[in-house]
């Protein structure tokens, strides 16, 4: 029974998704969704709190699609965290170009401090990707900073692309920005001899961050001080 309800919700979300893709966000009204799904308005209100709730779930649905694609594609990649950054960039941009209306809902509706709640998981994936690069000693800036830079540049490239007439879209811009930005936050694989101080400090820092939850043979204050030093070595 609960299962049936979830299936019904799912079907309504799929209908709403279709409306969104075909007519943009303004085509998604509670009435239009209910009508297209073949249910009455109160039935819709039984499934979703209100219109904001519906839109939030629709955004979550978009992030689900996005993450599924991205996880599948990245699973095929060999174990090269920096190559994953390149792939991740292209997958992001490609998703935006294929689903512009979803992309606008997910990344384009910018209001100070009002990020769609479902965005967290996508953000977490990016953090993970950069965390892995840091652990491999391939980052030359702290992962948090790298995340911000990548996020800003990727969305900028995607929105610029979406704004162009489909015929005249030019992926060179995205590729150029991608190469520039990723090169600026990563280093070459550490030479076995080299004294690549910054990236090693960051690699240790990333490993520490992971290990802190399971336990580390240092007092909290000691660990905090150590991490501060590592940041200084990295800067």
Partner DNA sequence: TGTACATCAGTGAACGCGCGTTCACTGATGTAC
Q: Which of 189, 109, 19 is nearest to 118 (CA)?
A: 109
51 binds, among a copy of itself, DNA, none (CB under 5 to 8 A by kind): DNA
Residue 25 as a binder of DNA (CB under 7 A): the answer is no
C-alpha 38/C-alpha 12 separation (Å) is 9
* Count of beta carbons in the 10 Å neighbourhood of residue 61: 20
C-alpha 145/C-alpha 230 separation (Å) is 15
Subset of 73-102 contacting a copy of itself (CB under 8 A)? 100
Subset of 102-161 contacting a copy of itself (CB under 8 A)? 104, 108, 110-115, 141, 145, 148-149, 151-157, 159-161
Residue 39 as a binder of DNA (CB under 7 A): the answer is yes
- Each residue 44-63 as x (binds DNA by CB under 7 A) or -, in order, gives xxxx--xxx-----------
Residue 14 as a binder of a copy of itself (CB under 8 A): the answer is no
3-state secondary structure (DSSP) of residue 186: strand
Residue 91 tokens, joined: 């997958």
Q: Looking at 10, 11, 24, 40, which residue binds DNA (CB under 7 A)?
A: 40
| Binding residue count for DNA, defined by CB under 7 A | 19
* CB of 110 vs DNA, minimal distance in Å: 21
Subset of 163-182 contacting a copy of itself (CB under 8 A)? 163-166, 170, 172-174, 176-177, 180-181
Give the side-chain half-sphere CA count within 13 A for 77: 17
Question: Is 172:204 a contact under the CB 8 Å cutoff?
Answer: no
Subset of 195-234 contacting a copy of itself (CB under 8 A)? none
Q: Which of 188, 84, 95 is nearest to 128 (CA)?
A: 84
| Alpha-carbon radius of gyration of the chain | 21
181-205 residues labelled b (16+ CB within 10 A) or e (exposed): bbeebbbeeeeeeeebebbbbbbbb
Residue 39 as a binder of a copy of itself (CB under 8 A): the answer is no
Binding site for DNA (CB under 7 A): 1, 5, 8, 29-32, 39-47, 50-52
Binding site for a copy of itself (CB under 8 A): 24, 100, 104, 108, 110-115, 141, 145, 148-149, 151-157, 159-166, 170, 172-174, 176-177, 180-181, 184
């Amino acid at each position: 029974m609960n299962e049936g309800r979830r299936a019904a919700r799912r079907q309504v979300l799929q209908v709403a998704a279709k409306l969104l893709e075909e007519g943009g966000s303004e085509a998604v009204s509670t009435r239009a969704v209910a009508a297209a799904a073949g249910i009455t308005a109160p039935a819709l209100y039984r499934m979703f709190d209100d219109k904001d709730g519906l839109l939030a779930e629709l955004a979550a649905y978009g992030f689900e699609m996005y993450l599924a694609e991205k996880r599948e594609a990245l699973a095929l990649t060999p174990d090269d965290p920096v190559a994953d950054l390149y792939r991740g960039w292209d997958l992001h941009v490609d998703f935006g170009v294929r689903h512009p209306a979803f992309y606008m809902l997910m990344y384009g509706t910018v209001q100070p401090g009002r990020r769609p709640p479902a965005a967290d998981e996508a953000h977490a994936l990016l953090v993970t990707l950069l965390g892995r690069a840091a652990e491999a000693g391939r980052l030359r800036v702290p992962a948090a900073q790298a995340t911000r830079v990548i996020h800003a540049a990727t969305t900028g490239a995607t929105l610029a692309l979406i704004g162009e007439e489909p015929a005249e879209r030019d992926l060179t811009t995205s590729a150029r920005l991608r190469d520039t930005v990723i090169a600026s936050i990563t280093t070459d694989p550490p030479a076995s001899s080299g004294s690549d101080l910054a990236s090693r400090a960051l690699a240790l820092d990333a490993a520490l961050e992971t290990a802190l939850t399971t336990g580390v043979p240092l007092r909290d204050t000691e660990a905090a001080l150590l991490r501060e030093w590592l940041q200084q070595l990295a800067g």
